[in-house]
Amino acid sequence: MANSSMKVYEELVKGIVEGKFRLGSVLKEDELAKLFGVSRTPVREALARLEREGLAVKRGKSYMIVPLTAEDVVMLYEARIPLEATAAKLAAVRAGEDHVREMGEVIEAIKGEVSKGDPDPVTLANLNGRFHELVAFASGNKYIVEFLGSIRLRLKIVRVTLFTSYQRRVDEAREHEEVYQAIRGRDPDRAYIVMMNHEINVLNYVKEKIIPMLF
């Protein structure tokens, strides 16, 4: 994808995540081209990528941002759980020292943010997402990276993490550190179990607390 197309794509994703482009809203090439100050070609390419990633569907000459349902959110988490656990297990075996070091840095940043007592939800969400990205990369499996990236992007647009309670953020920080310590200790079975438990806890929290707020 050309630089201009990539820039438009990134701005669209950012706009969707931040709520500037609402789920279910219509995106028109000419309006977006004027908004971003580019020709229609990069806009068309960016919209086509959103469609390939399942974030938008073509409606005539326009595109619509796919509205996710509560059932969609649950199914995405259900698909994510075994992939995250497998990624952690593989990372415990395959992670290079650079990956392990960066994971540790992210864990320390998460702990520092949570210790403030009133952590910035966007900062914390980005740190948590970065930790999971590093685990996926450290798995050495490009398909796990691809599939989890797609799932995370779809979940990101409903901004679930922005509605998480402080206590849950504390629990997540502890769970992430358990995953990190298992990977650092080269214990694949424990890495699998603690990541699985973490993801199940997330799903249960989403079903009990988040979905009733969002849908």
Answer whether residue 1 shows pLDDT above 60.
no
Mean pLDDT of 18-46: 92
In the listed set 33, 65, 97, which residue is the last one of a domain according to the structure?
Answer: 65
Q: Are residues 58 and 74 in the same domain?
A: no
Q: Are residues 37 and 139 in the same domain?
A: no
Q: Are residues 139 and 201 in the same domain?
A: yes
Q: Are residues 199 and 148 in the same domain?
A: yes
DSSP E strands in 26-182: the ranges are 26-27, 56-59, 62-65
CATH number at residue 21: 1.10.10.10
Mean pLDDT of 18-28: 88
Q: Which token pair is 128? A: 């948590």
Q: Are residues 104 and 150 in the same domain?
A: yes
Whole domain around residue 140: which residue ranges?
70-214
Give tens-digit pLDDT for 190-207: 999 999 999 999 999 999
The count of domains in the chain is 2
Q: Are residues 74 and 9 in the same domain?
A: no
Confidence at residue 162, expressed as pLDDT on a 0 to 100 scale: 67
In the listed set 18, 40, 65, which residue is the last one of a domain according to the structure?
Answer: 65
Q: Are residues 59 and 87 in the same domain?
A: no
Mean pLDDT of 96-106: 98
Beta-carbon count within 10 A of 122 CB = 13
Among the listed residues 8, 4, 19, 32, the one whose alpha carbon sits nearest the alpha carbon of residue 157? 19
Q: Are residues 116 and 12 in the same domain?
A: no
In the listed set 47, 65, 83, which residue is the last one of a domain according to the structure?
Answer: 65
Distances from the Cα of 203 to the Cαs of 36, 81, 128, 148, 212, in angstroms? 37, 9, 15, 15, 13
Q: Are residues 187 and 93 in the same domain?
A: yes
Give tens-digit pLDDT for 131-161: 999 999 999 999 999 999 999 988 887 766 6
